[in-house]
Structure 1
Amino acid sequence: MIVKHLEQVVHTQDDVDTPTWNSRRLLLEKDGMGFSMHDTIIKAGTETLIWYKNHVEAVYCIEGEGEIEVIGGQTYPIRPGTLYALDGHEKHYLRGKTDMRMVCVFNPPLTGREVHDKDGVYPASVEAAEARG
Structure 2
Amino acid sequence: MKIVRLQDIVGTEREVEGPGGWVSRRLLLKKDGMGFSFHETIIPAGSEFTFWYKHHLEAVYCVAGNGSIEDLATGEVHEIYDGVLYALDKHDRHILRGGTEDMRLICGFNPPVTGREVHDEDGAYTLVTDDD
Q: Tell whether the structures are fold-level matches, with TM greater than 0.5.
A: yes
**Aligned counterparts, 1:34-45, within 5 A:** 34-45=35-46
Residue aligning to 1:90: 92
| CA distance in structure 2 between the partners assigned to 1:88 and 1:17 by the alignment | 26
**Aligned counterparts, 1:99-118, within 5 A:** 99-118=102-121
TM-score normalised per structure 1: 0.92
- C-alpha RMSD of the superposition: 1.1
8 Å contact 1:67–1:96 — kept in the other structure?
yes
| CA distance in structure 1 between the partners assigned to 2:36 and 2:116 by the alignment | 15
118, 123, 126: which one aligns with 1:123 = 126
Q: How many residues are treated as equivalent by the alignment?
A: 127
| CA distance in structure 2 between the partners assigned to 1:43 and 1:126 by the alignment | 31
4+ residue stretches of structure 1 with deviation over 6 A? none
List runs of 5+ in structure 1 lacking aligned partners: 128-133
**Aligned counterparts, 1:63-82, within 5 A:** 63-73=64-74, 74-82=76-84
Partner SS, residue 124 of structure 2: coil
Q: Percent of counterpart pairs with the same letter? A: 54
| CA distance in structure 1 between the partners assigned to 2:129 and 2:46 by the alignment | 29
List runs of 5+ in structure 2 lacking aligned partners: none
TM-score normalised per structure 2: 0.93
1 or 2, which has the higher helix percentage? 1
Partner SS, residue 78 of structure 2: strand
Partner SS, residue 41 of structure 1: strand
